[in-house]
Amino acid sequence: ALKRMLNFNVPPVKNSTGEPVWKVLIYDRFGQDIISPLLSVKELRDMGITLHLLLHSDRDAIPDVPAVYFVMPTEENIDRMCQDLRNQLYESYYLNFISAISRSKLEDIANAAISANAVTQVAKVFDQYLNFITLEDDMFVLCNQNKELVSYRAINRPDITDTEMETIMDTIVDSLFCFFVTLGAIPIIRCSRGTAAEMVAVKLDKKLRENLRDARNSLFTGDTLGAGQFSFQRPLLVLVDRNIDLATPLHHTWTYQALVHDVLDFHLNRVNLEESAGTESTPAGARPKKKNKKSYDLTSSDKFWQKHKGSPFPEVAESVQQELESYRAQEDEVKRLKSIMGIEGEDEGAISMLSDNTAKLTSAVSSLPELLEKKRLIDLHTNVATAVLEHIKSRKLDVYFEYEEKIMSKSTLDKSLLDMISDPDAGSPEDKMRLFLIYYISSAQAPSEIDLEQYKKALMDAGCNLAPLSYIKQWKAFTKMASAPTSYGNATAKPLGLFSRVMNTGSQFVMEGVKNLVLKQQNLPVTRILDNLMEMKSNPETDDYRYFDPKMLRGSDSSVPRNKNPFQEAIVFVVGGGNYIEYQNLIDYIKGKQGKHVLYGCSELFNATQFIKQVDNFDNL
C-alpha cells in the first residue's frame, strides 16, 4: 500500500526501465513510524523519493517537484499543509491521510487552496487507512506516538470515566479498521466477555457493518477485496484481553528476538547499543571516553535475523560463530584470487595460470558485494548477541528463565523461591520482582500472609520496588472471581548439558556457566485460546466467547458460531499490550499446522521493564 501511495496512488509497474518520477515525501511522526520499519532510505530512493522531511520542520520551497504528504488529519497538520499551499512550496500536492479525514477539515484545505489559487496543484487527496505499524510479515502494533493513550495502564485505571474509555476504544477500533481495509478482508470476530476486548469487538463489528451497508462508499468492494492474501476464505479475528495472562509479559525469555527486546533498547525493529569504550586504560586525569551509541536495523531483509529470531539463544551464538567461520574461509579465497592475478610480478607462471583462473575471478568479483553484506550482518549479530550475552551472564537470566518455566508449568522446584530472591549474585532487583510476581500469579492458592511477609522482606532486602505487587494482588482477587487461573501447559525447558561447540576456545562467545536450555513447545494462554477457536474445539475456556459476523444483516448476540469449519487464517489481537514471547509462541504453534497462517497484533508492545512501570503505583493515581 505504501509503495502504491509513493507512486502517486497507482500500482508501481514492475521492471519499467524509465527513471522514476523524482518527488519529495513529507510525513509527520506517525507517518515516519509507519514507513521506517518497512522501507529503507535506499528503497525510497529507488522509488524516486529524493528528500523525506517532517511536516513541522523548516522546509525550503522546491517549486518544480511534486510532493507526497503522508500525515494524520490533525488540526495542526492541516494548518501547516494550508500554509504550504499559500507559500507555493511545491509543484503539486498529493495529500494522503493515514486515517480518514473529516468533511470539515477537508473543506478547510479546499478553502486554503482557493485563497492560495492552488486548486489545480492539489493533485489528489486520499484516505489511506494505514493507521497501524507493521513490524513483521505477521506482526503489527497500533501506534508508537501517544501510545500511553491506549496503554495497559490507561485501559485498567480504576478511576477511568466512561467517556475516556470510549475514546480509547475508538482509537483502537480505528486502527483495527484500517488494518482490515488494508488486508481487504472482513473477519469473523470472537472475544471474551466482560473485558475491554469485548468493547473493541462490539465497536469494530458496528464500524465494519456500517461500511458494508454503505454500498457506494464501501471500502470492501471489488478491486480492493481479494487483493489481500486471503481471498477465498475469511479470517478469524480473536480479540484477547491482556488481563487473561499477566505472567507472560513478566517472563524471562530465551529466544533471540524476545531477549533483544527484553534486555536491550529495541524499538520499531531498531536496536540501540552502547559500545563499551575499549579496555585500554585512560591516562589519569583524562576525561573518560564517551560511549559510542550504535543503532542497527533488524529487518526482514536480514536473512540471519529472519532465520534465527525465534531460536533459543545458545543456538544463535553457535550460528553466528559458524557464519563467521564460513566467511573467513571465503575471505582467504578472495586473497588467494588476488595473489593469482599476477599481483606478485609478471612471471610466465602467473600468466599461464591466468587463463584458467579467469572464470574463477569473474565469480569472485560478482560475489564480493555479497560477501561484504554477509560480513556486515555477521558483525551486527556478533555485537547484538554479545550485548545480550553480557546480560544473561551478569543477571543469570538462564537460571531465571528455567525457574519461571518450572513455576508456570507447576513442575517441582529444585531451589526454594526465597533462596532465589535472596541470592545476591543472581539477577537485578527487577528480575527478582518479576520472578516473584510470576510465582504469585501462577499459584493456585495465594501465599498465606505469613509467607507473603517473609517474601516481601526478602524482596525489600534485595532492593526491589514492591509497588507492582499491590496491583497484581487486586488483579488476582478480581480474576479469581471471574475465572480459574490460566494454566501454562506442563512442558519445561530441558537443559542439554553445557554448550558444546560454542565452548571451543576459538569462539567469540564465552558461554561457560550459561545453561544450554532447549525449548519444548508449550502453548501459552493466548495460543491455546487461538487453537480452540481456530480449530473449533469445544473448551470451557473459550465456549462462551462472543461471536460477531459483520456480514450478517442482523447482529446477534451469541456464542454459537455459524461457521463450523476450522479456519485457515487468523489474527490474534491483544487489547492492552503484547510481547515477542507470545508472538513467537504463536509462530511456533502455526508452523506445525500446514497451510495455516496467523498474524499477531497488539495495542502496544512492551517488555517486562515497561510493563512493571505501568502497573507500578496503580493505587495512588
Residue spans of the domains in the chain: they are: 1-129, 131-245+524-620, 260-275+294-340+364-395, 397-482
Mean pLDDT of 504-515: 60
Q: Which long-range contacts (CB under 8 A, 24 or more apart) does 402-407 make?
A: 402/492, 402/493, 402/495, 402/515, 402/517, 403/435, 404/251, 404/252, 404/434, 404/435, 404/438, 405/492, 405/493, 406/492, 407/435, 407/438, 407/439, 407/442
500-514 burial by CB neighbour count: b if 16+ within 10 A, else e?
eebeeeebebebeeb
Do 131-245+524-620 and 1-129 have the same topology in CATH? yes
DSSP per residue over 414-427, as a string? SS-HHHHHH-TTS-
What's the rounded Cα separation, in Å, for the pair 482 and 70? 44
- Which CATH fold would you assign to the domain 1-129? Rossmann fold (3.40.50)
Homologous superfamily (CATH) for 131-245+524-620: Sec1/Munc18 (SM) protein, domain 2 (3.40.50.1910)
Percentage of the chain modeled with pLDDT above 70: 81
- Residue 204 exposed, middle or buried by CB count within 10 Å (0-12, 13-18, 19+): buried
| Residue 598: C-alpha distances to residues 228, 230, 239, 576, 590 (Å) | 14, 12, 13, 19, 7
Specify the CATH number of the domain 397-482. Answer: 1.25.40
Q: What was the pLDDT predicted at 480?
A: 59
> What pLDDT does 332 receive?
75
DSSP string of 232-274? Answer: SSPPEEEEEEGGG-SSGGG----BHHHHHHHHSEEETTEEEEE
Report d(CA 302, CA 440) in Å as an integer: 39
Give the number of other CB atoms < 10 A from CB of residue 409: 17
Separation CA 27–CA 54 (nearest Å): 5
> How high is the pLDDT of residue 426?
86
Residue 532: CB atoms within 10 Å: 19
pLDDT of amino acid 578: 95
Point out which residues pair with 126 in neighbouring strands.
Answer: 96
Three cell numbers written together for 367: 560475489
H or E element that contains 569: strand 569-575
pTM: 0.87
Nearest CA-CA partner of 612 in 487, 471, 479: 471
User: Could you tell me which of 297, 310, 240, 249 has the C-alpha nearest to residue 270?
Assistant: 297
299: buried, middle or exposed (CB in 10 Å: 19+, 13-18, 0-12)? middle
For residue 87, give the 3-state DSSP assignment: coil
Instruction: Give me the mean pLDDT over the 551-572 stretch.
Output: 78
| Residue 328, helix vs strand vs coil | helix
Q: What DSSP assignment string belongs to 18-69?
A: SPPPPEEEEE-HHHHHHHTTT--HHHHHHTTEEEEEETTS----EEEEEEEE
> Which has the closest alpha carbon to 320: 271, 374, 381?
381
Between CA 590 and CA 230 the distance in angstroms is 16
pLDDT, tens only, 50-94: 999 999 999 999 999 999 999 999 999 999 999 999 999 999 999
What are the tens digits of pLDDT across the range 376-411? 999 999 999 999 999 999 999 999 999 998 888 888
Largest interatomic CA distance in the chain: 91
Across 179-197, b (16+ Cβ under 10 Å) vs e yields bbbbbbbbbbbbbbeebbb
pLDDT digit string, tens, across residues 458-501: 999 999 999 899 899 888 888 754 444 455 655 555 554 444 44
Higher pLDDT: 36 or 288? It is: 36
DSSP character at residue 605: B
CB contact set of 9 (below 8 Å; sequence gap of 6+): 94, 96, 124, 126
The mean pLDDT of 277-288, rounded to a whole number, is 52
The residues pairing with 51 across neighbouring beta strands, listed in sequence order, are: 24
At 201, the pLDDT band (50, 70, 90 cuts) reads: very high
Of residues 330 and 608, more confidence is placed in 608
Helices 429-442 and 467-482 pack at an angle, to 10 degrees, of: 20
Query: Which residue shows C-alpha cell 506445525?
Result: 592
Among residues 249, 246, 244, 133, the alpha carbon closest in space to that of 581 is found at: 249
Beta bridge partners of 569: 597
Confidence of residue 564 (pLDDT cuts 50, 70, 90): confident
In the prediction, which pLDDT does 483 show?
46
Residue 202 pLDDT exceeds 80: yes
What pLDDT does 208 receive?
94
- 313 contacts 497 by C-beta, under 8 angstroms: no
- Map grid coordinates 505499524 to a residue: 133
Q: Is the Cβ–Cβ distance between 209 and 549 less than 8 Å? A: no
Per the CB < 8 A criterion, the answer to whether 258 and 519 are in contact is no
For domain 260-275+294-340+364-395, the question of CATH label 3.90.830.10 is answered with yes
Helix (H, G, I), strand (E, B) or coil at 205: helix
What count of residues does the chain have? 621
